[in-house]
Homo-oligomer: A and B are copies of this chain.
Amino acid sequence: MRALVLDAGWNPRPDYDLSDDERERRLAMNSSQTWQHPELAVEERERPEPADDEVLVRVRYAGVCGSDVSMLETDGEGYMHYSAYTKLPTVTGHEFSGEVVETGRDANLFEEGDPVTAEVTDYCGRCQMCRQGFRGHCENFEQVGFTMDGAFAEFVAVPEKLVWDVSELAEQYDDEDRLFRAAATIEPSTISYHGLFTRADDIVPGDYHVYHGAGPIGLTGMNVSRAAGAGKVIAFEPSDERREIARNLGFEHVYDPIEVDPVETMADVTDGAGADVHVETSGAVAATYPVIQETLAEGANVVHISNAGSDPDLALRKYQGNSAQLYGAEGHTGQQVYPRTIRLMAAGHIDNLPIVTSTFDLEDADEAVRRAAERVDGKVLVEM
């Protein structure tokens, strides 16, 4: 089968403290310290065989994530930007939809033909983290498209327990092609859903939400916030193209933080109340945290989702004076996040199709990643 394969040279930086596990398995804990000169290419690969507890999926669409981009981008010495886990070479791609074509011997939740998507993080279910219920931080985790072969390919084999049926999306998308496009945007939507509704506590309908950054995660997040009954959804985003996409989604309060004074703008839009929910989705924390601290509503929840390159100063007095709290949020797995997000889409509360602004064929999947690197799209999809 055809697949987009990422490879790079294993060349740990001299001052990087390599663990035994990294040395033996070449599973990098911090890819930016070990992998040099990454290369992406569409290649011929063996079609995977599903293990006993796996499901084989014929992929229909897979989206390009910021992490896919940062696995290709490098610093001056040619080291990969991406700072989390990888095992190379690997087929990348983890935001996908497709149809079940085969099921492993012990996999009985799905049947051939079922339309599905999947979670990214596999968990062992037995380590100290897992057995206390913290599966998102499993000590033996694997990640589809990072440490296991992923979905920029004709087929992908995924542990059954990560797979979710999306057939109820047919209630909104009578056209199968649109259904699979929409289903490929479930994964990024779950990032915000998780941050807002499993990490933060007590976000209620009518709250004012503000997104600091309207890239793919911010845009899908804004849709989640509106679906959840946000009183207003506000966004600050410097890219003209992305602000335009936000407006096409029907959002009114979308601003260029370079052009306007975000603090004043927030005061206007919220009539002085500030935002109840702040979602950091830009990574430009040196710019956003000073705005956040000046626009906290009483009891505000700050949900930090992005990969920030630096650590912001935190104005503790502001968090005390407004009874505010800050939650660190990242990927998740093995909760109700996927089925709830799927239901929101099936109910028509979320429609992400206007966020999809470019689509490439699998044969040009490397071009799709390079396109996403321009950071002007909503979501770039690859069609298999």
Contact = CB atoms under 8 A, between A and B. Distances in A.
A204 interface: yes
Contacts of A266: none
A128 interface: yes
A86 B201 CA distance: 35
Interface string A297-337: 01100001001100111111111111111111110001110
B125 A206 contact: no
B330 A304 contact: no
A205 B224 contact: yes
Contacts of A271: 168
A169 to B, nearest CB: 12
A323 B194 CA distance: 11
Given A205-B193, A344-B231, A320 B330 contact: yes
Contact of A322 (B227, B229, B315, B328): B328
A329 B316 CA distance: 9
Contacts of A327: 319, 325
Interface in A266-319: 271, 285, 298-299, 304, 307-308, 311-319
A131 B55 CA distance: 15
A66 interface: no
A10 interface: no
Contacts of A53: 126
A136 interface: yes
A349 B109 contact: no
B299 A134 contact: yes
Given A207-B340, A231-B346, A316 B323 contact: no
Interface residues of A, number: 75
B131 A316 contact: no
A161 B131 contact: yes
Contact of A336 (B132, B323, B340, B342): B132
A52 to B, nearest CB: 11
B328 A321 contact: yes
A212 to B, nearest CB: 13
Nearest to A198: B204
A110 to B, nearest CB: 11
Given A299-B134, A323-B136, A230 B347 contact: yes
Contacts of A328: 316-325
A313 B312 contact: yes
Contacts of A129: 298
Contacts of A343: 206, 208, 231-232
8 contacts: A131-B161, A137-B322, A304-B320, A307-B317, A319-B326, A320-B329, A321-B328, A326-B326
| Pairs A-B, 9 closest by C-beta atoms | A319-B328, A206-B340, A231-B343, A320-B328, A125-B125, A206-B343, A311-B313, A314-B314, A205-B228
Interface of A: 53, 109, 125-137, 160-162, 168, 193, 197, 199, 201-202, 204-208, 224, 227-232, 271, 285, 298-299, 304, 307-308, 311-330, 334-336, 339-344, 346-347, 349
